[in-house]
Structure 1
Amino acid sequence: MKATTASPADRWRNWGGTASCTPNRVISPSSAEEIATIVRETAERGGTVKTVGAGHSFSPIAVADDVQLELSGLRGLVGVDGKQVTLKAGTHLHEIPALLAPHGLAMANLGDVDRQTIAGATSTGTHGTGLAFGGIATQIAAVTLVDGTGEIVRLGPEDPDFPAAALGLGSLGVLVEITLNCVDDFRLHAVEGPASATEAIEGFLDRVAAADHHEFYLFPHTDCALVKTNTRLPADAAVSGPSGFRRYLDDELLSNKVFRLLCEIGRRAPGLVPKINAFAGRSLSARELTDASTKVFVSNRDVRFREMEYAIPLEDVPDALREIRSMIDRRGYRVSFPIEVRAAAADDLMLSTASGRTSGYIAVHRYHRDDPADSDAYFADVEAILTAVGGRPHWGKMHTRDAEYLRSVYPRFDEFLSVRDRFDPSRVFANGYLRRVLGD
């Protein structure tokens, strides 16, 4: 176990630059037993412990006031039993395909970013898109964690507390191992292309119902959208599509390097943003490709941004998008980042954003160097629209909701709090964010 005493030079910041802290100690444990000792000792002196993964959450959910645990020493494959795969909790999503490949397996669904750890992704409710698929936490078959008393606990679906532990916000304990229900390896056939914003919005409910995976991006200040649909294919389906150079041109040069330049121009001259977005929208071209699932699901994101995302009842998505577009124009915002729209199946996890209801997801972003006050005002106006229809904020992204509001949109909220009382009675895993969203 490696322990260090943090100094101002060791100040931790998340990827988006929206949260930071200087913990009293940073510890890198390599076993559940080491974590149990740390938790017991910290609890005895009245301190707190927070675990940090890749720092890809935009909310302050991982901010450590006292002891910060970083799990780079807990990575890799523990074992495979049929299609159930047990991973150490600090394993990054981008490391998992190589671990599963020798066994002919894959994760059932993913989002478009794979920098997170499996513990961080599941604990914050990370998800992809597709009405037959829940968030990544719904793929969990069992978890092993160290609770607030320093006990090592393993929970599976047969345990009444499992629907809390599978997506626990880091408030119930330190995840040590996660067992996933995987699927046979598969490929995806992707069809991507431009559409009008009106067409993308009006056709969303039909398209998401008909496709395995469907999402789209709206370009503010324009009538342009980029529509993406993925169809699942067997693992032996032929790889096809653009050349390596064309994919580099689309996915790296245009989507990252050129986009970063355009965001910088828009930051310095906000009045140009509508013209820049119109140019970007007109530059969209159609393409098709077939490749390994992870290579299609995941996109490289080098341009840093701030993000807020809400889950709302699926049927409310079109009207909410129309209202957001109208609000942007009415309020005079200049937004360079597209609005992302996805969907997910209902599930039974207590604090999943899709708990008990089929959900649509609307994510809004701002370039990380945009004026913070303007960005915050934009997020607040979007948040008002989405909370008016019972929206649930993504736990790892920016929002202003508190326990009073969250209790009104999560039917099992108080049930979760009772589990927390048993797993962490002295609140050794608390921080400011958890006190706001959970109430104490």
Structure 2
Amino acid sequence: MWKNWAGDQACTPAAVVRPSAVEAVQEAVRNAAGQGSGIRVVGAGHSFGDNVLTSGTLMSLDSLTGLLGVDATAGTVRVAAGTRLHELNQLLDARGLALANLGDIDSQSVAGAISTGTHGTGRTLGNLATFVEDVELVTADGDVVQASEAGAGVLEAARLAVGSLGVVTAYTLKILPAYTLRCEQEPAPLADVLERLDSEVDANRHFEFFSFPHSDTVIAKRTNRVENVPVGRAAGQDTVTGPAAVAGKVKAYLEEELLENTALDLVCRLGRARRSLIPRLNRLATDLVSPTVRTGRSHEVLVTRRSVRFTETEWALPREAGAEALKEMRRVVTARGLDVNFPFEVRFVAADEQSFLSPAYGRDSCYIAAHMYRGMPWQEFFGAVQDVALAYGGRPHWGKRHTLSADRLAGLYPRWEEFQDARRRLDPHGLFSNDHTRRIFGA
């Protein structure tokens, strides 16, 4: 039996294959097609929906990893699709390179993260799919194609396709020279942050905040590039050599581990056991936060270790609607007396003009994520969040929970039919379909 990271999605496939070469991927695809069974591809299992569940063939790309090439002149790298993001970050850093942005976890496979629309935060920065220059696919007939050479619209469809066009075996990605970031985190009044929200987003390379439903204090994070600063600098230090540097890193790790994992897990456990305590625990969680500063390589600063298990829904809204939508989501939690012991996470992403199914397609976007701690009922809360998001023009994150089907989704994406055309051309018989893709894309 296969289970996802959250532990709440499971399936028992007829076969599990782990190809370590593109030729083995081709063979597995042809075998599945010959047997008349479906095939789904899994990365790290960090999607929260039933994206990869199958009774047919489940393909893991865990053995298809590594950096396949670097083109310094073009500013691109070629990477195998099963490579974990944290592995890619290390491979790039060893060569003095980095991605322009990251989400806040790096456990996903490159293909899983890109194919579902994973993003970070930053008003000038797109989601990970916007870094894609080309996609290598094994299509339903077992052929290997480069998306950029496969016909009009295929690359734009393949950048973000939820595994429905074929097996992605490699990407060509845009990269940057390695750079240093400084992140300042502090508690702040929610009203103040919302009042100056546009200026906060515009003034920082990365801005995000976390808002517990029953607390009027948020946790705000401002992250910016710094030049000529030694990597690993700790707050208040002028140098980073010797024991001081080590102590600074240990201090930063302990603060992050205690506040964002150990303490949060304890607060959530208490809330699950005594739900009447949740409003007070929300306020306690923000009271525990003190101002911190963290400086380091981009991937060290942007990524946070997450050990607390939860499930999640997330919605991309027009940037200008973000503040009002968050207010309404918080209001609904209070009005309905919903037991919510996790914060809303609010981030900002530049418009994506390159991926037909990007939730940020054609507009600068505010992403609002809502979470529920493991073992707690999430359906009513997520349904309420979905209703509010849709009222403000929201589009769902493809790797998170939502209940929309193709008839509703078609109206949210201006390039929907062009994506469907690419899907019909590359997978005419639905080899890469399952119940999830049939719901969101149609049969």
TM-score per shorter chain, which class? over 0.9
- Residues 273-316 of structure 1: per-residue CA shift (max 9 Å, x gap): 11111112122111122111011100000000010000010000
Please give the secondary structure, in 2, of the residue aligned with 1:26. strand
Q: Give the TM-score taking structure 2 as reference length.
A: 0.94
Residues 64-143 of structure 1 aligned to structure 2 (within 5 Å): 64-82=54-72, 83-143=75-135
SS at match of 1:156: helix
Aligned match of 2:15: 25
Q: 2 CA distance for matches of 1:103 and 1:402?
A: 44
Match of 1:285 in 2: 290
CA distance, structure 2, for counterparts of residue 31 and residue 244 of structure 1: 39
Give the distance between the partners of 1:430 and 1:344, measured in 2 at CA: 29
Gaps of 5+ in 2: 236-247
Report the 3-state secondary structure (helix = DSSP H, G, I; strand = E; otherwise coil) of the residue aligned with 2:170.
strand
How far residue 397 of structure 1 moved from its aligned partner, in angstroms, is 0.4
Instruction: Specify whether residues 239 and 202 from structure 1 end up closer, same or farther in structure 2 by C-alpha distance, changes over 3 A only.
Output: same
2:429 matches 1:429: no
| 2:241 match | none
Structure 1, residues 322-373: CA drift from partner, whole Å, max 9, x if none? Answer: 1111111100012111100001111121001111111110000010121x2x
After TM superposition, give the deviation of residue 205 of structure 1 in Å.
2.1
Q: Which residue of 2 aligns with 1:8?
A: none
Deviation at 1:18, TM superposition (A): 2.9
User: Alpha-carbon deviations, 1:246-275, whole Å to 9, x = none?
Assistant: 223311123211211111110010000111
In structure 1, what is the equivalent of residue 276 of structure 2? 271
Aligned residue in 1 for 2:177: 184
- The residue type paired with residue 411 of structure 1 is P
Where structure 1 has 5 or more consecutive residues not aligned to the other structure, the ranges are: 1-10
* 2:146 counterpart residue number: 154
Give yes or no for the alignment of 1:334 onto 2:326.
Answer: no
Which position in structure 1 is the counterpart of 2:245? none
- Percent identity (aligned): 41
Q: Does 1:382 align with 2:385?
A: yes
Partner of 2:4: 14
Q: CA deviation at 1:236?
A: 5.2
Choose from 351, 356, 365 the match for 2:357: 351
Residues 202-223 of structure 1: per-residue CA shift (max 9 Å, x gap): 2222211221110000011110
Residue deviations 1:377-410 (CA, integer Å, cap 9, x gap): 0110111000112211000000001111111110
Q: Which amino acid aligns with 2:382?
A: F
Q: What CA distance in whole angstroms lies between the structure 2 residues aligned with 1:264 and 1:178?
A: 40
- 2:308 maps to 303
2:243 corresponding residue in structure 1: none
C-alpha contact 1:43 1:426 (8 A) present in aligned 2? no
1:294 corresponding residue in structure 2: 299
1:10-67 CA-partner distances (Å, limit 9, x unpaired): x111111231100000011111111112212211232111110000000111112200
CA distance in 2, matches of 1:113, 1:289: 17
Taking the aligned partners of 1:363 and 1:235, their CA distance within structure 2 comes to 35
**Aligned alpha-carbon RMSD (Å):** 1.4
